[in-house]
Amino acid sequence: MNELEDLHTILGQEQHARVQLERILHLTNKRLSNTAWSMTSVQEALEEQQTEKLRVIEKAKKEIFMANLKLSSLIRNLPTGVMLEDEEHKVLHTNERFCQIFDFLVPPGLLEGLLANDIFDLVKENCAEPGHFDDEIIRLYLAGSEALLPTIALTNGSVLECSYAPILADNEVAGHLWQFKDITEATKAQQDLIRAKEQAEESVRVKENFLANISHEMRTPMNGILGMADLLGKTDLAEEQKNFLHLIKSSGQNLMMIINDILDAAKLNSGKLHLERISFNIVETVTAAYKSLVYKAEEKKLPYLLGPIEVASPYVEGDPYRLNQVLLNLLNNALKFTLEGEVRLSILVLAETDTNLTVEIQVKDSGIGIAPENLDIIFEGFTQVHAGSDRKFGGTGLGLSISKSLVQQMGGKIWVESKLNEGSTFRFVLTFNKAEKPTEKPTEEIDYAGLGELKVLLAEDNEVNLFLTQTLMENWGFQVDTAVNGLEAVAKASTQAYDVILMDIQMPELNGVDATRKIRNLSEPARARVPIIALTANAFPEDYQHYLANGLNDYLSKPYKEPALFQKISSNLDPAQPKAGKKTSAPKVTPEEKLYDLTHLHSMCRGNEAFFNKMLQVFIDTVPASVVSLETAMLRQDWPNVAEMAHKLKTSFDTMRVSRLKPLIRKLESDAKKQENLAAIPEQVEHISNLTRTLLDQLRLEIKT
Ligand code: ADP
């Protein structure tokens, strides 16, 4: 039983163990199948990753291929020759253009792997200056930085621009890029442009020269005609002759205006017209322009009106002469193109501030008018829209274009409103800076005897001008020597002393500028220093600069008027130089020459002898003291006092009508007042004092006892 029980127990245990085993087995199986499943999914995931990686690599490969394709087709088609080398200067890549530029008849691929230097040896053979090419390459290799070579000329005439740049990878030089650009066409175009510019400049220069010459050729005889007409006017003429002379003068002046117009147009075109900047009264300028043409309106019996012209503060800063020129042109046109009706000039103030004044100036006429299609073109040079073959109205067609340029240069604008057969209104607007009223200089009457007998050399090849200027100066009491060319002028200036030389510029043999240079080189300092004034018909400012730079002291442009010539000479005299002429040495009075004229005093005294004697006595007693005071003031250089004493003496001398002292004392007074020509004052005072002594001696004899 026990055994059975034992067996039974054993069997039970066995059964239990089997169940347990089965459960364990089942669990193990379960775990194993789980692991197998997860291994499969890991493998699957791995496979998927692999595929993705391959896809990315494929894509990247494709992209690299495309980028390479793009890059190589870009390099292949570049208009520049390219050579890429590695850090050891081994060629990595070149393009077709590179081979073309240097005449290499091989495909670019064949150059790859060679040393850049070996290729440059081949390149050098095509260079116009191989040595220079070598130097530059070496310089670039040594510098190792980005650079642009000076242009390289090839033997086939091409010009190349070469640049060199390191290629950096992670801040390390990984190679170099060479680029060669063919700039033959661009260089040629640039050279053509430079040549064209030079040609244009040359043609402007030729044109200016031509104008300067033509102006000289025309102004010189005009100077002669107008000057001779002036001289003729000073002689006794019958009424009819005076009329003829008047016609000669006015035709001459008209011709002169045309010559000046042509010159102005040329100067405006080349931007060489310079405007003045002075203070002036705009109302006065406008009124004066109006008045100067009243006679024309009267000739045509045309109502000619001025106004409204209300400008409260008329003083402005600008160029009154050029404003006058514009006004005269518009007024002349209005009068010319109006047969009936009226012409009116007016000014409107458009705006005014403390500092600025904007005005509109109008010239309105009721004349023949201008067709709408011509309103703009009349402002172009040489255009006349009423110019029939009969040349009824005359003119050059330059006036309006000059006026427009002048107004524009003054910062304004000009335009016209017009209707055919009804009339025209020309308007221009200008803005000025307001100005103070200029201090008025008293207009001095010129004393042509005031400079004494100056010794002058006049060098001039034009006979009429020579005669004219010589006559004028001899009338002033000058001693005039003449020379008809530059050589003669130099010869005379080297053998004789002159107070001043007047030098025409364009002369045969030797021109005025070269003659001046030779005079400045004379060995005797006083002769080399003589003041030389250019007499010139050239009207360009750079001509003047050229004269002054070459030793001329000043210039006077032809045609000149008597006062201008006198003032030019007077202002250029060298005060430190003793005068070469006679009169300014000691004043000589011949015994029979009476320095005074007592007619005026007699008429004042009306036969009252005592009064007459008293007057003389007072003069004789007081004048010496005044002369002493004058001398003292001069020694002290007290110029206001010199002026005052001269003024006092002037009245006394005038009473006795002392003609020899009249100009002298006036010049002294004015020089001392303005503190001008101070170096000449001692001589003037000495002169006055000597003459006064003789005068007093003579007057003492006049006292009736
Ligand atoms: P010019 O008067 O010497 O011919 P402008 O340049 O002054 O030259 O004038 C050009 C042209 O404009 C004149 O020829 C004329 O045809 C026209 N013109 C100018 N002003 C007037 C005006 N006030 N009335 C009619 N036409 C005019």
Q: What is the mean pLDDT of residues 534-560?
A: 81
CB of 400 closer than 6 angstroms to any ligand 1 atom:
yes
Task: State the pLDDT at residue 537.
Answer: 72
CB of 625 closer than 6 angstroms to any ligand 1 atom:
no
Distance 337 CA to ligand 1 centre (A): 8
Q: What is the pLDDT of residues 661-671, one digit of tens each?
A: 888 888 898 88
Taking alpha carbons only, the member of 182, 207, 192 closest to residue 103 is 182
Question: 131-135, 556-560, 600-604, 694-698: which has the minimum mean pLDDT?
Answer: 600-604
CB of 329 closer than 6 angstroms to any ligand 1 atom:
yes
Secondary structure E strands in 36-101: 81-86, 91-94
Task: State the pLDDT at residue 586.
Answer: 47
Distance 384 CA to ligand 1 centre (A): 6
- Whether 199 shows a pLDDT value over 80: the answer reads yes
How buried is 256 (Cβ within 10 angstroms: 0-12 exposed, 13-18 middle, 19+ buried)? Answer: middle
677: phi > 0 → left, psi -120 to 50 → alpha, else beta; which? Answer: left
Secondary structure E strands in 143-270: 147-148, 152-153, 159-169, 172-182
Task: State the pLDDT at residue 577.
Answer: 60
What does the alpha-carbon distance between residue 648 and residue 616 come to, in Å, rounded to a whole number? 16
Q: What is the pLDDT of residues 476-494, one digit of tens each?
A: 889 999 999 999 999 999 8
Task: State the pLDDT at residue 382.
Answer: 67
- Whether 99 shows a pLDDT value over 70: the answer reads yes
Task: State the pLDDT at residue 329.
Answer: 94
Q: What is the pLDDT of residues 501-542, one digit of tens each?
A: 999 988 888 899 999 999 999 888 888 889 999 988 766 667
CB of 424 closer than 6 angstroms to any ligand 1 atom:
yes
Pick from 300, 325, 333 the residue to mutate for probing ligand 1's pocket: most ligand atoms within 8 Å of its CB: 333
CA dihedral for 34, 35, 40, 44, sign (positive or negative)? positive
CB of 140 closer than 6 angstroms to any ligand 1 atom:
no
Which residue CA neighbors atom 19 of ligand 1 most closely?
Answer: 333
CB contact at 8 A, 154 and 178: no
Taking alpha carbons only, the member of 559, 539, 453 closest to residue 230 is 559
Strand pairing category for 500-504 and 455-459: parallel
CB of 347 closer than 6 angstroms to any ligand 1 atom:
no
Taking alpha carbons only, the member of 524, 694, 526 closest to residue 623 is 694
- Whether 587 shows a pLDDT value over 70: the answer reads no
Question: 54-63, 192-201, 344-353, 541-550: which has the minimum mean pLDDT?
Answer: 541-550
CB of 333 closer than 6 angstroms to any ligand 1 atom:
yes
Closest ligand 1 atom, residue 329 Cα: 7
- Whether 14 shows a pLDDT value over 60: the answer reads yes
Task: State the pLDDT at residue 51.
Answer: 92
pLDDT band at 585 (very low <50, low <70, confident <90, very high): very low
Question: 90-104, 464-478, 500-514: which has the minimum mean pLDDT?
Answer: 464-478
Cis before 308? omega within 30 = yes
Task: State the pLDDT at residue 632.
Answer: 82
Distances (CA, A) of 638 to 631, 644, 678: 10, 10, 11
Distance 324 CA to ligand 1 centre (A): 17
Task: State the pLDDT at residue 584.
Answer: 45
Rg (CA), the chain: 50
Task: Show the tokens assigned to 647.
Answer: 């003024």
The dihedrals phi and psi of 350, each to the nearest 5 degrees, come to -90, -35
Task: Show the tokens assigned to 97.
Answer: 């253009």
Higher pLDDT, 601 or 185: 185
Q: What is the pLDDT of residues 221-266, one digit of tens each?
A: 887 888 888 888 878 889 888 888 888 887 888 788 788 887 777 7
pLDDT band at 590 (very low <50, low <70, confident <90, very high): low
CB of 325 closer than 6 angstroms to any ligand 1 atom:
no
Distances (CA, A) of 233 to 329, 465, 471, 574: 29, 17, 14, 33
Taking alpha carbons only, the member of 422, 408, 299, 300 closest to residue 364 is 422
- Whether 605 shows a pLDDT value over 80: the answer reads no
- Whether 580 shows a pLDDT value over 70: the answer reads no
Taking alpha carbons only, the member of 46, 101, 281, 87 closest to residue 177 is 87
Task: Show the tokens assigned to 167.
Answer: 């290629």
Task: State the pLDDT at residue 489.
Answer: 93
Pick from 255, 330, 365, 378 the residue to mutate for probing ligand 1's pocket: most ligand atoms within 8 Å of its CB: 378
CB of 461 closer than 6 angstroms to any ligand 1 atom:
no
For the chain, the average pLDDT equals 85
Closest ligand 1 atom, residue 332 Cα: 2
Helical H segments across 270-357, by residue range: 282-292, 294-300, 320-336
Task: State the pLDDT at residue 440.
Answer: 66
pTM metric for this prediction: 0.51
Residue with tokens 């067996």: 7
Contact residues for 553 (Cβ-Cβ < 8 A; gap 6+): 531, 532, 533, 572
Q: What is the pLDDT of residues 427-458, one digit of tens each?
A: 999 999 999 887 766 666 777 877 878 899 99
Share of residues in the chain with pLDDT > 70 (%): 92
pLDDT band at 583 (very low <50, low <70, confident <90, very high): very low
Which residue CA neighbors atom 12 of ligand 1 most closely?
Answer: 378
Higher pLDDT, 458 or 106: 458
What does the alpha-carbon distance between residue 243 and residue 231 come to, in Å, rounded to a whole number? 15
The dihedrals phi and psi of 194, each to the nearest 5 degrees, come to -60, -45
